[in-house]
């Protein structure tokens, strides 16, 4: 984990220096960029494991950088660094596939906890994870993609893969947003906004929607005043069921 290479894209020198110093003190390899153009170039290089991305950047704004990253490296983890008043941009970022966000001003401790949680989700993704089905869609956890046909595919980020897997593993019950934050992010959800979970679920639902519009079934069901659960038509392959049971022992 400590050898992970992280790119910090932040135009404010004091904030960038504080973030870079905290990451390096924790053993990470860090590249830094002061504008969106340089940040994008650094982020799409081989070996990068995570990007910390400010939204208000010169040359290319953060959302434009995120959009570009998603086209080249659709599953690369990205954490947005955002000002408290930029909720609309934060929501847009999550809808575009950001894995998490940290609100400024933030402490080094909070930032490192978010970084570790996102990297842990990426590292802990089982390499032998099998498949699930929803209608004619095949959800391939190993490739992190949804396939309806050879020409109809959608990529899954590590966060989306983690949420979908967690819901399937707990398909007999509903799980709260707080439980998802705790189990997948590895942080105490007390006092944190849970809207990030809603944004990721909305993105998952959109990806699982049949491009031909042949099914009205829900892959992820909202449980009012609680959270979410896997829909009854989200079918688990036997190989995934066996592997899941083995991990619980």
Question: What DSSP element (H or E) covers 222?
Answer: strand 220-223
Q: Measuring CA to CA, which residue among 144, 150, 148, 145 is closest to residue 212?
A: 148
How much is the pTM? 0.62
Q: Measuring CA to CA, which residue among 195, 135, 197 is closest to residue 164?
A: 197
How confident is the model over 5-34, as a mean pLDDT? 96
Q: Are 202 and 95 in contact (CB under 8 A)?
A: yes
Q: How far separated are the first and last CA of the chain, in Å rounded?
A: 25
Could you tell me where the DSSP H helices lie in 26-137? Answer: 36-43, 62-72, 87-95, 108-124
Residue 149 reports pLDDT greater than 80:
yes
CB proximity list for 70: less than 8 A, separation 6 or greater? 96, 97
For residue 27, the model assigns a pLDDT of 94
For residue 188, the model assigns a pLDDT of 66
How confident is the model over 174-178, as a mean pLDDT? 89
How confident is the model over 155-169, as a mean pLDDT? 86
Residue 141 reports pLDDT greater than 50:
yes
* 239 band by pLDDT with thresholds 50, 70 and 90: very low
For residue 34, give both structure tokens. 């002061």
For residue 222, the model assigns a pLDDT of 93
For residue 241, the model assigns a pLDDT of 43
How confident is the model over 216-241, as a mean pLDDT? 80
How confident is the model over 110-128, as a mean pLDDT? 74
Q: Determine the Cα–Cα distance for residues 246 and 135; give it in Å rounded to an integer.
A: 27
- The structural domains of the chain, with segments of one domain joined by +, span 5-124, 131-248
* 6 band by pLDDT with thresholds 50, 70 and 90: very high
Residue 1 reports pLDDT greater than 50:
no
For residue 92, the model assigns a pLDDT of 77
Cis previous bond, 105, omega within 30: yes
> What's the CATH number of domain 131-248, 1.10.10.10, 3.30.450.20, 1.10.1270.20, 3.40.50.2000?
1.10.10.10
For residue 86, the model assigns a pLDDT of 66
Q: Is pLDDT larger for residue 111 or for residue 225?
A: 111
CATH top-level class of 5-124:
alpha beta
Q: Are 117 and 182 in contact (CB under 8 A)?
A: no
Same CATH fold, 131-248 and 5-124? no
How confident is the model over 16-27, as a mean pLDDT? 96
For residue 123, the model assigns a pLDDT of 60
How confident is the model over 51-62, as a mean pLDDT? 94
For residue 237, the model assigns a pLDDT of 67
Q: Determine the Cα–Cα distance for residues 32 and 53; give it in Å rounded to an integer.
A: 10
């Amino acid at each position: 984990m400590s050898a992970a290479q992280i790119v910090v894209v932040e135009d404010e020198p004091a904030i960038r220096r504080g973030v870079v110093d905290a990451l390096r003190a924790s053993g990470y390899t860090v590249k830094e960029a002061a504008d969106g153009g340089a940040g994008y170039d650094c982020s799409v290089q081989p070996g990068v494991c995570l990007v910390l991305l400010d939204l208000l950047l010169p040359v290319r704004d953060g959302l434009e950088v995120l959009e570009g990253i998603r086209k080249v490296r659709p599953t690369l983890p990205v954490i947005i660094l955002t000002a408290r008043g930029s909720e609309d941009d934060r929501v847009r970022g999550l809808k575009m596939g950001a894995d998490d966000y940290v609100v400024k001003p933030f402490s080094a401790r909070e930032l490192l906890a978010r970084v570790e949680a996102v990297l842990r989700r990426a590292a802990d993704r089982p390499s032998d994870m099998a498949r699930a089905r929803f209608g004619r869609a095949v959800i391939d956890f190993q490739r992190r993609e949804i396939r309806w046909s050879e020409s109809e595919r959608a990529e899954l980020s590590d966060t989306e893969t983690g949420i979908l897997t967690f819901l399937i593993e707990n398909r007999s019950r509903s799980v709260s947003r707080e439980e998802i934050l705790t189990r997948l992010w590895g942080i105490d959800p007390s006092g944190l906004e849970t809207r990030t979970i809603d944004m990721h679920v909305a993105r998952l639902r959109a990806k699982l929607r049949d491009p031909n519009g042949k099914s009205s079934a829900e892959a992820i069901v909202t449980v009012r005043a609680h959270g979410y659960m896997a829909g009854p038509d989200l079918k688990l392959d036997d190989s995934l069921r066996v592997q899941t049971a083995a991990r619980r022992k």
